[in-house]
Structure 1
C-alpha cells in the first residue's frame, strides 16, 4: 500500500532546504481530476470541496500531465491517470476551489488529504497554464509539494536554502524570484516564470526517488528557436512557451549529447558544467522583477551522486562571438563564425574555432585543436593559450591546407622550426621566437607563408604534433 515514509538529509543545504521530511514509499503513483466535490470525504480538509468547487478544464489537465512527465523524466517516479469515483480515489488529486487564497497542496502523510492540490477558482489566475506563465509555474510548484518538496525559502523541516541559491533560478519552490528578493510573493514578468523543474528541484526529487538515466540516454541534440523560445530535441519541437523567453534546466540521462546554437545570429555564452548556465541572448532572458534578469537561459542539472552520465558533452556556437566552456568529459566545442573563446577544461577535448580570430584553451587532458578554415592576412588566425607538446595535437583539414600530403601524421619533411621555410617540401613553419605557426603552400618557393595560429614560444614542437585529416 502506498504510504508516506520519513527521509534523511543529504548534507547539501540547498537540497535539504527543499525536503518536507517525508516521501511516498512507491514509484508508481496515481492522480486524478475529480469532477465533483462530493467525491471528497465529509470531513475533508478546510472546506475546499464545498466552497466554489470546480473541475479542471482541459488546458489545466494537460498542464498537470506535462508536469508529471517532467518529474518522471528526472526521477524514477511513474504516474498513471485514473478516473476518480466514490469508490476509487487517486493518491494525487487536482481541482479548483474558492477556499485557497491562491493555491495549496497537502504534503505526503497518512491523512485523507495528503497529496491533493487545490487552486483558487475565483479570479481566473490558473485558467490557461502555458510554460513560462504564472499558471503553469504554479502547477509545477504545487505538484512537487504533493510528492515531498517544501518551500525553499522557509526554515521549517531541515531549514531553508542558502541565501545565494534561494531564488527561482534554482528552485520553483521558493517565493523569491531572484537572490535577495522578498519572500512575500514572486515578482516575475508575465512570461518570465520558470518553464521546467530547476536544478535543486531535480536534485531533491532524485534524492527522494532516484535518478532516471533512461531519459534521453542516446546521443541527443538540443536546439532552441531565437524567435519563439521553443525547444527542439532531436528535431522535434516541444511547444513554444508563453513568450520568447528561455528559463529552464536540462536533465539528460546519457549518451553523447550536444547543445546546438547554430541558428543564433549573435554570439552565445555556453557553459556545460553541472549547475552552470548558458545564455542565448539578452532578449530571451526572463525578467524576474526588481531590475533583475535571470542569470542565464538554460541551466544544466547537477550531477546525481557524482554520476557523469547526465553531462552534456558538446556545444556548437552561434554566428557571433561565442564563449563556450566545457566540463570534465571529453568535449567537442565548435565556435563557427565570429571571434570565439573556447575553454575545454578537463578531459581530452576537440576545439574548433571555425571562422574568425579565436582564442582556444584546451585545459587538462590530451586536446585537439582543429583548423578547417582557410587563413588570410587578417582572419582565421587562432591563438592557443596552453598547447602542451606530446599531449596536444593540431589538426589540419587537408581540403583547406591542400599541400600537406596524405592523411595522417604530418610527414617529418613538411615541418620546419624557423623563421622561414628552408626547402621546397616545408609546409608548416613554426617560428619559435614569436610562437607563430605558418602554412606555406610551396616551401621555399615564391608563395608567401600565411599565419594561421599562435601558440607558446620556444616549444619543442615537431611534425608529430600535427595531424592531417
Structure 2
C-alpha cells in the first residue's frame, strides 16, 4: 500500500511505517541492547557498546517527544523489540545511523557513534539531542528530505526545496537552520510533526487544555504541538524586537529574525502577550486576544473578532482593506472596527489601512450631539448623522472632493454630503474635510472673516493654501486685527496701496479695492480724521472688511462653503 499523500512536505519525509498504512496508531516496542544482535553486519558490530545510562535517559526523552505529537505508544521490552538501540564505532563517517521500517520487517536497529563526545552531551540545543530525534525519526519511518546520506548512497525522492530543507523545518535534514545557525532544535519540527501525524495520527490528548507558552530571548528552536484548549503565547520576558505569528505553520522570533518558534499545523493559538521591546504580531482568523507590553507593537488583525489592548508604547492595528470598507466607532480609549470581523481595540494609537493611516485621537464616536468643544468626526461607509453642537466641528471624508456632492438645507444649519456609499446629514458642522481640500461653512464666523479680509486687503479671491493657513491661525485665537496687520505688512498689500501711503490715499484705496467706488466726501473726511487721531490702519482695514458692503458683496460667493486647504503644521 502506497503511503504517498500528494503533499510534498509530507512525501519528502515519509518512507514507511510500523502499520503499513497512513493514519493508523501504533504500539512500538524498544529495547536497549546489551550485546550485538544475531545477524548484525560487520559495520554494526564494530566497537559495539551498550548505551550508557545518560544515553538511555536521553533516548527516553526523545521517544516521549515523538509520542507527544503522534499516536505512537512506546513500550520497553527486554528482547525481540521493534527498535533495538545501542552504540558502535562509526569513526568520523556519521554521528549515528538507523534502519527504517519496511514491509515484512519486524525489527530495526539504531546505533549512536560512541566515539563522538556529542553523544554524551544532552544539553538542550546541542547536537546530541538532535541526533537522537533524527535517528528515532528514521526508526519510525521518516527519511532524509534531500538526496544525501552518510553512506553516500542515493536517497529516493521526492525532496524538499532548498528553502525548507533545513533544521528549521525538520530534524531529518542535514542542513543547518537558515537563521539560527549553530543551534539545534529541541523538538520534532514543523514538517516532522506533519509527516509523523500523517503516518500514525495526531496525539489529541497532549496539551488538550488551556496552556500558556512562555518564551525568553534565548528560546531554543522548537515547534509547538497543542491538541486543544485556549492557548497563549507569552513573550513578556523578551526584551528586544520580536515577531509573533499565530497562524498554524508560521514562525515567530523571540529576538530579531531568528524564526525559533513555529506552530504545528492544526494548532490554534488565540492569546498573545508581548514584551517591552516592541512586537510585530500577525493574528490568525480564530478571534484572538492581544495584551501589549511597554514596546511599540504593530498588530495585523485577522478575520475573526479580535481584542487588542496595546498597553504602553505607540501601538498600531493594521487592517487589510481600504479605509472606506470599515465602520469605526470610538468611545473613550476604546475603538471598535467592523469589516474584518468585529475588532475591539484599546490603548492603540493608530489604525493602518491599505490606503491610509488614521490617528485614533482624530476619531470621535458618531453620536447625536458632539461635545461642547471643537469635535472632529471621521465619516465611515454608509449613511450617517453628525450633530456637532457648539464649537467649530469638522467631519472628515476619505475621498477626493470631486467624489462628493455637498449641499445646504435648513437655511444652512444642516448639510448633506452624498457619495456612492450613502447620504450623510451634518448638523451644526462648520468644516468638511476631504483628502484633497476642505470646505468651511462658518461663513459668519472665523472662516468667513478670513475670506472677507482677503477680498478687502488684496481685492481678490483668496488662494486655498493661504486661506487655510489664516483660518488655522484664527482657530487658534489670532484676532482679525492681527491678521489685518500682517496683510498690511505684506509685499502684496504694498504693491496695491504703496509702500507708505498717506492717510487720505489709504482711505481712497480702501474704498476703491473693497467697495469698488470713490469715497464720498463725508466718508473720506471721517476716516482720515479717525486715522489722524491714532486709530491703527489694521483696525480700519478690519472694519471695512466686516462692513455691510463687503459682507453683501461676498455673500453669494461663499453661500455654498468656502474652499480652503487645511494647514497641517
Structure 2 length-normalised TM: 0.57
94-103 or 252-261, which moves further after superposition?
A: 94-103
Q: Which residue of 1 aligns with 2:234?
A: 260
Match of 1:369 in 2: 344
Shift of 1:140: 0.4
Determine the C-alpha separation between the residues in 1 that align with 2:124 and 2:317. 37
CA shift for structure 1 position 105 = 0.3
- The answer on whether the counterparts of 1:35 and 1:55 sit within 8 Å (CA) in structure 2 is yes
Is 1:197 aligned with 2:188? Answer: yes
Residue in 2 aligned with 1:219? 210
Matched, 1:44 2:43: no
Residue 131 of structure 2 corresponds to: 138
Which residue in 1 is equivalent to 2:336? none
- What secondary structure sits across from 2:205 in the alignment? coil
**Larger relative contact order (CA 8 Å, sep ≥ 6):** 1
- Aligned with 2:353 (options 351, 373, 385): 385
Larger helix percent: 2
Deviation at 1:411, TM superposition (A): 11
CA distance in 2, matches of 1:44, 1:170: 33
Is 1:28 matched up with 2:2?
no
| Contact 2:287-2:302 within 8 A present in 1 as well | no
Distance in 2 (alpha carbons) for counterparts of 1:188 and 1:255: 33
Residues 273-319 of structure 1 deviation map (CA, whole Å, 9 limit, x = unaligned)? 1221111114xx7xxxxxxxxx411011123xxxxxx2111211111
For the pair 1:168 / 2:167, whether they are aligned, the reply is yes
Report the secondary structure of 1:116's partner residue: strand
Contact 2:133 2:171 in 1 (8 A): yes
TM-score, normalised with respect to structure 1: 0.68
Give the secondary-structure state (helix, strand or coil) at the position aligned to 2:119. Answer: coil
Equivalent in the alignment of 1:73: 68
Q: Distance in 2 between matches of 1:356 and 1:434?
A: 27
Question: What SS does the aligned partner of 2:133 have?
Answer: helix
- 1:304-358: CA deviation from partner (whole Å, max 9, x where unpaired): xxxxxx2111211111221110112111122222221101222121122222221
Can you give the 5+ residue segments of structure 1 that lack an aligned partner in the other structure? 1-5, 182-186, 230-244, 286-294, 304-309, 374-379, 388-393, 395-409, 436-442, 463-469
Report the 3-state secondary structure (helix = DSSP H, G, I; strand = E; otherwise coil) of the residue aligned with 1:208.
helix
Structure 1 residues 144 and 360, CA, compared in 2 at 3 Å: closer, same or farther? same
Tell which deviates more after alignment, 341-350 or 143-152.
341-350
Deviations 1:222-248 (A, max 9, x none): 00233xx4xxxxxxxxxxxxxxx5211
Residues 366 and 22 of structure 1, relative CA distance in 2, 3 Å threshold:
closer
User: How far apart in 1 are the matches of 2:106 and 2:202?
Assistant: 28
Would the alpha carbon gap of residues 98 and 252 (structure 1) be closer, same or farther in structure 2, given more than 3 Å must change? same
Take 1:204 and 1:108, find their aligned partners in 2: how far apart are those partners? Answer: 15
Shift in Å, 1:144? 0.5
User: Equivalent residue for 1:340?
Assistant: 297
Q: How does 1:83-122 map to 2 (within 5 A)?
A: 84=78, 88-99=79-90, 101-102=93-94, 103-109=96-102, 114-122=107-115
The partner residue of 1:10 within 5, 14, 34 is 5
* Structure possessing the higher radius of gyration over alpha carbons: 2
Partner of 1:53: 48
Kept after mapping to 2: 8 A contact 1:218/1:255: yes
**Displaced runs of 4+ in structure 1, greater than 4 A?**
110-113, 410-413, 454-462
| Deviation digits for residues 428-449 of structure 1 (CA, Å, limit 9, x no counterpart) | x5423799xxxxxxx979xxx9
The alignment yields a C-alpha RMSD, in angstroms, of: 3.5
SS of 1:302's partner is coil
